[in-house]
């Protein structure tokens, strides 16, 4: 687990610390289920582990109202905590459920081996949207899998859906697509340009073996007893309205609040939206969040006020702030945090006390245990703010 490297300032009211995370080769011990799938804005698993271990004890209730792909919920369950995960994004809900209720390789194999993925399909939209990413036979298998998932909801099928969604695009041979970005979906035009630049074209990539291989990798650490026995709830809702969470029931909130929304956020998810049968209009409505700094501050203030209702006296809220894209600089991050601190001190001081600020220092840029260079996201500075419920 991470250790505090240097304590800079400390007083009874507020402390500032620096933190070195264990992101050097071989240091990370997080469970393999964390690698199932991800979404932009997810908390780093090591940070989730650090916050949960430091600020809670086994048996307590952990809440993440911006669940993303379920990093906090999974880590809480793996360490013997009960968990509530909420998000407005239906894809986030599906991913979180898949991590909390996974399937093993035998269940996945039995389910998929009964399905024919080579049935004829209509190719109406193939040339316009998908030909830059997939060989036509790969595309046929993906569509048949997509149709099967839509018609046969279950725990195992939900897990298969999350695995397949994570393989829709990537830069390795294990993905369904030709070489592309793994974190975002390029547009068909952008992907075609990348194909020309690299001198590549989509080759046939059989879907079932890749799902089996990814499942084996994701489940290599097993289905732990703590995860099986954890009490958890996952539901789709706005973080400003957690009506399904009882007053004063939560011991700790660990979450990464969203930043100012942009059209690009949805563009980057278009392949996952298509595969999950989520319309852009549906997600656009669900994610209609802050569009400028003033709206963001109002939004996060409403969230913090609602969290004051559900968190026990003496409990904590941990906000993790990251630089998510080139639109945001470290200066922007600092401004967001300072505005939040000022608001808590001026308007919500009867509910919250500002307790701690932690600066997570970027790790040394070495090759990770998975044999890859750490990504730009992993190398970015991350800041943590901790508030204590009065």
Indicate whether 30 and 66 sit together in one domain.
Answer: yes
Q: How many CB atoms lie within 10 A of CB 317?
A: 26
Indicate whether 134 and 199 sit together in one domain.
Answer: yes
Indicate whether 98 and 225 sit together in one domain.
Answer: yes
**Amino acid 16: pLDDT:** 85
Q: How many CB atoms lie within 10 A of CB 56?
A: 21
Mean pLDDT per segment of 10 residues, for the chain of length 390 residues? Answer: 40 74 60 95 93 97 98 98 96 97 97 95 97 98 98 97 98 97 95 98 98 98 91 96 98 91 79 93 74 84 96 97 59 75 88 92 50 45 90
CA gap 186, 181 in Å, rounded? 7
Indicate whether 160 and 183 sit together in one domain.
Answer: yes
**Amino acid 375: pLDDT:** 47
Is 371 inside a domain boundary?
A: no
Indicate whether 96 and 224 sit together in one domain.
Answer: yes
Is 324 inside a domain boundary?
A: no
Cα 290 to Cα 66, 104, 255, distances in angstroms: 14, 39, 17
Is 376 inside a domain boundary?
A: no
Indicate whether 227 and 214 sit together in one domain.
Answer: no
- The reported pTM is 0.89
Query: Which two structure tokens, joined as six digits, stand for 152?
Result: 């046969």
Q: Which residues pair with 84 in a beta bridge?
A: 63, 233
Is 19 inside a domain boundary?
A: yes
Residue corresponding to tokens 């279950």: 154
**Amino acid 297: pLDDT:** 86
Q: Which residues pair with 17 in a beta bridge?
A: 7, 358
The last residue of one of the domains, among 187, 218, 249, is 218
Q: In angstroms, what is the C-alpha Rg of the chain?
A: 21
Task: Give the domain range for residue 211.
Answer: 105-218
Burial classification of residue 312, based on how many CB atoms lie within 10 Å of its CB (0-12 exposed, 13-18 middle, 19 or more buried): middle
Indicate whether 255 and 356 sit together in one domain.
Answer: yes
Is 291 inside a domain boundary?
A: yes
Indicate whether 87 and 227 sit together in one domain.
Answer: yes
**Amino acid 9: pLDDT:** 37
The count of structural domains within the chain is 2
């Amino acid at each position: 687990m991470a250790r505090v490297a240097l304590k800079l300032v400390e007083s009874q009211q507020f402390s500032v610390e620096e933190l070195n995370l264990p992101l050097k080769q071989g240091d990370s011990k997080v469970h393999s289920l964390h690698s199932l799938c991800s979404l932009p804005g997810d908390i780093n698993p090591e940070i989730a582990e650090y916050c949960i271990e430091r600020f809670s004890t086994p048996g307590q209730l952990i809440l993440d109202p911006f669940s993303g792909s379920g990093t906090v919920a999974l880590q809480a369950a793996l360490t013997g905590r009960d968990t509530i995960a909420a998000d407005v994004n239906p894809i986030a809900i599906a991913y979180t459920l898949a991590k909390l209720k996974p399937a093993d390789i035998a269940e996945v194999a039995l389910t998929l081996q009964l399905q024919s993925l080579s049935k004829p399909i209509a190719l109406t939209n193939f040339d316009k949207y998908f030909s830059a990413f997939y060989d036509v036979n790969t595309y046929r298998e993906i569509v048949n899998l997509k149709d099967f998932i839509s018609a046969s909801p279950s725990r195992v099928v939900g897990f298969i859906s999350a695995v397949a969604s994570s393989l829709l695009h990537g830069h390795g041979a294990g993905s369904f697509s030709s070489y592309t970005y793994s974190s975002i979906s390029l547009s068909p035009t952008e992907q075609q340009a990348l194909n020309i630049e690299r001198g590549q074209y989509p080759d046939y990539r059989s879907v079932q073996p890749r799902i089996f291989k990814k499942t084996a990798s994701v489940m290599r650490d097993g289905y732990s007893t703590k995860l099986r026995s954890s009490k958890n709830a996952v539901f789709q809702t706005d973080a400003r309205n957690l009506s399904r969470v009882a007053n004063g029931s939560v011991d700790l909130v660990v979450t990464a609040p969203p930043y100012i929304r942009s059209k690009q956020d949805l563009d980057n998810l278009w392949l996952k939206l298509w595969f999950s049968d989520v319309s852009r209009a549906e997600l656009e409505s669900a994610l209609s969040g802050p569009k400028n700094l003033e709206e963001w501050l109002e939004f996060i203030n409403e969230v913090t006020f609602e969290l004051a209702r559900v968190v026990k006296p003496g409990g904590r809220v941990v906000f993790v702030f990251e630089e998510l894209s080139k639109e945001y600089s470290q200066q922007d991050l600092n401004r967001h945090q300072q505005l939040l601190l000022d608001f808590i001190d001026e308007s919500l001081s009867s509910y919250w006390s500002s307790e701690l600020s932690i600066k997570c220092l970027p790790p040394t840029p070495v090759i990770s245990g998975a044999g890859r260079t750490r990504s730009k996201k992993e190398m970015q500075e991350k800041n943590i703010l901790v508030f204590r419920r009065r």
